[in-house]
């Protein structure tokens, strides 16, 4: 699971030490040590911000070890390193998102059966695609979270992000408004029907209530808005709107 590393600078010496160890191990090519050394080099270079060497190390890992049973897990480690860089960056840098996506796409190209068992990684890659303006690819990867990891805490968030991507596509005129609205409504319904106990589902219920209220479908609007528990810590504005519509 992708996690936050709050003090990146404090880990600089540790990364440097690891780099030296992995560089020594790489002198004996082939075998398990070489695989782990190559993975370690890639992660360390990414963490140190040495992009040319990071790219070289990643390319070698993908070229030489794409059939290793732990290949997918190590690609996930590299994506986590990029995630950490993005979290700790003092300013938005498109290149960090682009590099994370490039690693992902190279791994897929070299190993078509490539997949990982961590929904956080797919969620992260989807967000990278969003930041790069590739909204269809973002939807595709958020949908993997929904379809492959239905029990994950990320799933409801992924549903909301799918709705958001369709809204962006609609606002940009890239898909018909009717198609986007249908997809958005379908996504909110999935959140409400399949994940009723998640607080985020209350927000989906409110938005479905709003959509039906504005279409004059009062019964459906009342049904969705009645799912909101006013005693729960929901945004006051949402509660006020729900109460207004139900009056």
pLDDT tens for residues 148-203?
999 998 999 999 999 999 999 999 999 999 999 999 999 999 999 999 888 778 88
Mean local confidence (pLDDT), 79-108: 88
As a whole number, the mean pLDDT across the chain is 81
Mean local confidence (pLDDT), 231-239: 50
Instruction: Find tokens 């595709």 and name the residue.
Output: 140
Question: Hey, what's the torsion of the CAs at 87, 88, 90, 92, to 10 degrees?
Answer: -30
Dihedral sign computed on CA atoms, order 222, 224, 227, 232: negative
Local structure of 4: helix, strand or coil: coil
User: What is the reported pLDDT for 139?
Assistant: 97
Report d(CA 191, CA 244) in Å as an integer: 23
**b/e 203-234 (16+ beta carbons within 10 angstroms → b):** bbbbbbbbbbbeeeeeeebeebbebbeeeeeb
Greatest mean pLDDT among 40-54, 90-104, 129-143 lies in 129-143
Report d(CA 211, CA 199) in Å as an integer: 19
Local structure of 99: helix, strand or coil: helix
Report d(CA 120, CA 87) in Å as an integer: 14
Question: Contact, 199 vs 232, CB < 8 A?
Answer: yes
User: Residue 233: is its pLDDT beyond 70?
Assistant: no
User: Residue 24: is its pLDDT beyond 70?
Assistant: no
User: What is the reported pLDDT for 14?
Assistant: 56
Biggest alpha carbon distance in the chain? 75
Mean local confidence (pLDDT), 72-88: 89
Q: How confident is the model at residue 112 (pLDDT cuts 50, 70, 90)?
A: confident
User: Residue 7: is its pLDDT beyond 60?
Assistant: no
Phi, psi of 193 (to 5 degrees): -80, -35
User: What is the reported pLDDT for 189?
Assistant: 92
User: What is the reported pLDDT for 179?
Assistant: 95
Where is pLDDT greater, at 39 or 28?
Answer: 39
| Percent with pLDDT over 70 in the chain | 79
117 DSSP 8-state letter = S
Mean local confidence (pLDDT), 145-149: 95
User: Residue 130: is its pLDDT beyond 80?
Assistant: yes
Where is pLDDT greater, at 74 or 134?
Answer: 134
């Amino acid at each position: 699971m992708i996690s936050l590393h709050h003090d990146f600078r404090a880990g600089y010496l540790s990364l440097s030490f690891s780099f030296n160890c992995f560089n020594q191990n790489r002198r004996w090519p082939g075998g398990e040590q070489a695989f782990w050394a190559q993975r370690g080099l890639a992660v360390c270079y990414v963490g140190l911000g040495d992009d040319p060497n990071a790219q070289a190390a990643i390319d070698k890992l993908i070229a030489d070890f794409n059939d290793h049973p732990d290949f997918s897990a190590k690609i996930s480690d590299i994506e986590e390193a990029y995630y950490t860089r993005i979290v700790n960056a003092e300013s938005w840098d498109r290149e960090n998102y682009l590099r994370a996506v490039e690693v992902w796409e190279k791994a897929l190209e070299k190993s078509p059966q490539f997949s990982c068992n961590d929904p956080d990684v797919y969620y992260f890659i989807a967000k990278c695609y969003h930041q790069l303006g590739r909204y269809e690819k973002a939807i595709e990867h958020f949908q993997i979270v929904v379809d492959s990891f239905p029990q994950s805490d990320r799933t409801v968030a992924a549903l909301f992000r799918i709705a958001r991507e369709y809204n962006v596509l609609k606002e940009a005129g890239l898909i018909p408004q009717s198609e986007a609205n249908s997809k958005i409504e379908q996504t909110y319904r999935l959140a409400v029907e399949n994940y009723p106990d998640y607080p985020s589902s209350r927000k989906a219920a409110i938005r479905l209530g709003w959509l039906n209220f504005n279409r004059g479908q009062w019964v459906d609007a009342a049904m969705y808005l009645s799912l909101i528990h006013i005693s729960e810590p929901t945004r006051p504005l949402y509660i006020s709107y729900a109460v207004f519509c139900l009056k």
